[in-house]
Chains A and B, each alone.
Chain A
Amino acid sequence: MNVLVYLVPMALALGLTGLGAFLWSLRAGQYEDIDGAALRVLSDDDVT
């Protein structure tokens, strides 16, 4: 069961990373314009 010593922190760290990424994407406004993002990816002339 010594394997738990590093498996458990690793699982928690991975979970927290996922949560952190989600909260970051929320703050960065990634969910503000869901339909627009789907269309913007199609146009290739807005690469600046």
Chain B
Amino acid sequence: MVETTDLSTFVQHHKGVAHLELAVEGIGCAGCIGKIEGLLKQLPGVVDARLNFTNRRLAVDWRDGELGAADLIAALENIGYHAHPFQPERAETEEAEHMRWLVKCLGVSGFAAMNIMLLSVSVWSGHVTDMTQETRDFFHWLSALIALPAAAYAGQPFFQSAVRAIKARALNMDVPISLGVITALGMSLVETATHAEHAYFDSATMLLFFLLCGRTLDHAMRRKTRAVAGNLAALRADFAHRFDGSELVRVPAATLKIEDRLLVRPGDRVPADGVVLSGTSEIDESLVTGETTRRAVTAGATIHAGAVNFSGTLTMRVTAAGPGTLIDEVERLLKKAVTAKSRYVQLADRAARMYAPVVHATAALTLAGWFLAGASAHDAIVTAIAVLIITCPCALALAIPAVQVIASGALFRAGVIINSGDAIERFAEIDTIVFDKTGTLTLPEPRVANAAAIPSDLLEIAARLALSSRHPLAATVAREARGRLPVEGSIEEPGQGVRAMIGGTEARLGSPAFCGITKVESIGAGNSIIAFSHNGDRIVLSVRQTLRGDAIKTAVGLRALGLQLMILSGDRAAAVLPVASALGVADWKGGLNPAEKIAEIEALKAQGRRVLMVGDGINDAPALAAAHASLSPISAADLTQAQADAVFLGEPLAPVLDAVTIARQARGLMQQNLWLAVIYNAIAVPIAILGYATPLVAAAAMSGSSILVTLNALRVGARKRTAAQLAPKQLASVTAS
């Protein structure tokens, strides 16, 4: 049966030109750009091909009808690049738009701040030389001419956010910022009109410029991690084999509809929830339930997306998650957990809630104080506004985003991709970590457990032979191969194994009987064996879930941080025990269903514990949503990853340790930065209250404090080098290579 691939959902058509975006794996150097673009531009019909090296995405335009999307992917495959069709999420497109707007605002405020500062410096030097009042007024008017339109444009991000906060009857940092900027501009305008000596146009625009710098950097970092996450999602996207009449078409799993009939071959992941129509097989549901023992299925059985078909070919019908199924239960629990979750109040907003009333009260007291002391109404108002300007939370507003930018960069290098903005703060607060077992503490795919006991040359031949088989057990053996070249002329015997002539003698990989082994020692549940014979050598490979290589070391490290570790698994207790004892975790439970997992987490929360849940299965999703913070390996089910605050990459478990260490350090620096801002205010406010806050003093104080908190934030990366050094390699494996 010839199978075609249908990628039409990814292709956009515009005036006879088709457009496709691809996430490309394996781009590492400048040569790749030329190679890929050169190849595609030679294809007949291709109008343009442009590779974006920063986010590893390729945009191709071709004349409609002359080529198919699958041809492009095949062409790239031929020169050794795996390309995956890609549809940018709406959130990502919106973020890109927002970023452009922020950069525009940054440009405008930068232009205004620089030009006004030029004029202001002239005015300040004029105070001590011979500048006439007319010249000074002229310069002030000129500043107003630049500052007012610039602030009206570049201040929008703050004004809009402040209005939203006030409408929601809340306070955020943008409220005092907006108030400070508007009063500064208003007062300066009045002062200029009355030929006064001081105007604060420079302070207002510089403030906007500094704050926009912080906000743009914050946004850029978030976009970068989101782009990587988007590429990873495209790389992982499942395809389904759908029957269209008598034809079999390969379609993206996301486009499947209810009642579609699908073919699921051995080694394939079940692409959607459904019912088996025909065929018998064993399926591995470790990603769904955490259970490592395979389940036998025949016609009529319900199967869930995410399970791996193990032995036989199945045909299935796609159904919605029916009442009473596991997925239905998970979704119900998830909904409950998400609505029950109280919104976390970020450190910055908590600071704003304390800060704004204090500052505004101080300004009011200043006004009253000067008025009572006999100053004119004008002087009293000017001094009070000067207090507002000098306390305008430049340093305070940068104190937390600056740390967040550097910390999410450090986490990114450590292989942790942050999903939600306040995740860093919540990671820092946890005192208990609950691990799922299957796929989290253990590697997501089973491994050859006795690899070390087998002669390496024999294992290499077995692994290369395994490369030409689609069976899941063979795929496990193939992972041991050093080379990626399959043995030529191999023949697969369905249900038995694969054989090929190697060096003149036949090599076989498959069931023990197929390889001439009659007696096999009994194996425990959840273990599988596969045999190999060549040249008279016969070996039995034992395949099972193994712990992540650094799991024990990481557990020790986490305990050293004072964290309590727990394991809550959906797998049988007998399978959890060896893992728990290897890691020295006394607190463990096996055989839990999703509702029981949530109950355990709620019980911990009731004790006042702050729980970090680390899990990958669909059965973990509600528990992830219920926990204070959550983390998933990149191999996790989509539903689960969507709930996690962060995703970690690669095989080691170390990113969990890194996430907690970096987050704690980051929170320490955030608090330090807040204190720096408080100290700055403690010095600056009395000066302003006494009426000495001239524009020159304001400019120096604001930039000084902003630079100080930014420099302090940079220390997150500095102390964390050792852990981050390990990571670039793993990260490179998904982003660069």
Q: Could you tell me which A residues sit within 8 Å of B by CB distance?
A: 1, 4, 8, 11-12, 15-16, 18-19, 22-23, 26, 31-36, 39-40, 42-43, 45-46
Flag if A35 contacts B53 (CB, 8 Å).
yes
Flag if B52 contacts A32 (CB, 8 Å).
yes
Flag if B100 contacts A36 (CB, 8 Å).
no
CB distance from A44 to the nearest CB of B (A): 10
Flag if A43 contacts B31 (CB, 8 Å).
yes
Flag if A11 contacts B118 (CB, 8 Å).
yes
The reply to whether the CB of B486 lies closer than 8 angstroms to some CB of chain A is no
Flag if A8 contacts B142 (CB, 8 Å).
yes
The reply to whether the CB of B135 lies closer than 8 angstroms to some CB of chain A is yes
Flag if A33 contacts B54 (CB, 8 Å).
yes
| Known contacts A43-B31, A43-B33, A33 near B53 by CB under 8 Å | yes
- Given the complex, which residues of B lie within 8 Å of A31, measured CB to CB? 103
Flag if A35 contacts B33 (CB, 8 Å).
no
The reply to whether the CB of B88 lies closer than 8 angstroms to some CB of chain A is no
Which B residue's beta carbon lies closest to that of A1?
B135
Beyond known contacts A19-B107, A31-B103, A33-B55: 18 more, CB 8 A cutoff = A1-B132, A15-B111, A15-B114, A19-B108, A23-B104, A23-B107, A26-B107, A32-B52, A32-B54, A34-B54, A36-B33, A36-B51, A39-B33, A39-B53, A43-B30, A43-B33, A45-B34, A46-B38
Q: Could you tell me which B residues sit within 8 Å of A by CB distance?
A: 29-31, 33-34, 37-38, 51-55, 100, 103-104, 107-108, 111, 114-115, 118, 132, 135, 138, 142, 146
CB distance from B103 to the nearest CB of A (A): 6
Flag if B115 contacts A15 (CB, 8 Å).
yes
- Given the complex, which residues of B lie within 8 Å of A36, measured CB to CB? 33, 51-54
- Given the complex, which residues of A lie within 8 Å of B111, measured CB to CB? 15-16, 18-19, 22
24 pairs of residues in contact across A and B, judged by CB atoms under 8 Å: A1-B132, A8-B142, A12-B146, A15-B114, A15-B115, A18-B111, A23-B107, A26-B100, A26-B103, A26-B104, A32-B52, A34-B54, A36-B33, A36-B51, A36-B54, A39-B29, A39-B30, A39-B33, A39-B53, A42-B30, A43-B33, A43-B34, A46-B37, A46-B38
- Given the complex, which residues of B lie within 8 Å of A46, measured CB to CB? 34, 37-38
- Given the complex, which residues of B lie within 8 Å of A4, measured CB to CB? 135, 138
- Given the complex, which residues of B lie within 8 Å of A1, measured CB to CB? 132, 135
Q: Is the interface of A mostly helix, strand, loop or mixed?
A: helix
Flag if A12 contacts B115 (CB, 8 Å).
yes
Flag if B54 contacts A35 (CB, 8 Å).
yes
- Given the complex, which residues of B lie within 8 Å of A19, measured CB to CB? 107-108, 111
Q: Is the interface of B mostly helix, strand, loop or mixed?
A: helix
CB distance from A22 to the nearest CB of B (A): 5
The answer for the CA separation of A32 and B224 in the assembled complex, in Å, is: 12
| Known contacts A4-B138, A11-B115, A40 near B54 by CB under 8 Å | no
Which B residue's beta carbon lies closest to that of A43?
B34
The answer for the CA separation of A27 and B138 in the assembled complex, in Å, is: 35
- Given the complex, which residues of B lie within 8 Å of A35, measured CB to CB? 53-54
- Given the complex, which residues of A lie within 8 Å of B142, measured CB to CB? 8
- Given the complex, which residues of B lie within 8 Å of A12, measured CB to CB? 115, 146
CB distance from B154 to the nearest CB of A (A): 11
- Given the complex, which residues of A lie within 8 Å of B53, measured CB to CB? 33, 35-36, 39
Which B residue's beta carbon lies closest to that of A32?
B52
The answer for the CA separation of A36 and B111 in the assembled complex, in Å, is: 28
CB distance from B448 to the nearest CB of A (A): 38
Which B residue's beta carbon lies closest to that of A48?
B41
- Given the complex, which residues of B lie within 8 Å of A8, measured CB to CB? 142
Residue B33 contacts which of A16, A18, A23, A40 (CB distance < 8 angstroms)?
A: A40
The answer for the CA separation of A46 and B103 in the assembled complex, in Å, is: 30
Residue A22 contacts which of B107, B138, B146 (CB distance < 8 angstroms)?
A: B107
| Known contacts A15-B114, A22-B107, A23-B104, A33 near B138 by CB under 8 Å | no
The answer for the CA separation of A36 and B33 in the assembled complex, in Å, is: 8
- Given the complex, which residues of B lie within 8 Å of A33, measured CB to CB? 52-55
CB distance from B141 to the nearest CB of A (A): 11
- Given the complex, which residues of B lie within 8 Å of A22, measured CB to CB? 107, 111
The answer for the CA separation of A35 and B138 in the assembled complex, in Å, is: 45
- Given the complex, which residues of A lie within 8 Å of B107, measured CB to CB? 19, 22-23, 26
The answer for the CA separation of A33 and B59 in the assembled complex, in Å, is: 12
The answer for the CA separation of A23 and B115 in the assembled complex, in Å, is: 17
- Given the complex, which residues of A lie within 8 Å of B138, measured CB to CB? 4
The answer for the CA separation of A30 and B135 in the assembled complex, in Å, is: 41
Which A residue's beta carbon lies closest to that of B52?
A33
- Given the complex, which residues of B lie within 8 Å of A23, measured CB to CB? 104, 107
- Given the complex, which residues of A lie within 8 Å of B100, measured CB to CB? 26
- Given the complex, which residues of A lie within 8 Å of B54, measured CB to CB? 32-36
Which B residue's beta carbon lies closest to that of A46?
B34
- Given the complex, which residues of B lie within 8 Å of A18, measured CB to CB? 111
Q: Which of B29, B53, B118, B135 has the most CB of A within 10 A?
A: B53
Which A residue's beta carbon lies closest to that of B103?
A26
CB distance from A25 to the nearest CB of B (A): 10
The answer for the CA separation of A11 and B135 in the assembled complex, in Å, is: 16
- Given the complex, which residues of A lie within 8 Å of B37, measured CB to CB? 46
Q: Which 8 A-B pairs have the closest CB atoms?
A: A36-B53, A39-B30, A19-B111, A33-B52, A35-B54, A22-B107, A35-B53, A33-B54
CB distance from A12 to the nearest CB of B (A): 7
- Given the complex, which residues of B lie within 8 Å of A34, measured CB to CB? 54
The answer for the CA separation of A33 and B55 in the assembled complex, in Å, is: 8
The answer for the CA separation of A34 and B227 in the assembled complex, in Å, is: 14
The answer for the CA separation of A19 and B29 in the assembled complex, in Å, is: 34
CB distance from A35 to the nearest CB of B (A): 4
The answer for the CA separation of A18 and B146 in the assembled complex, in Å, is: 15
CB distance from B38 to the nearest CB of A (A): 8
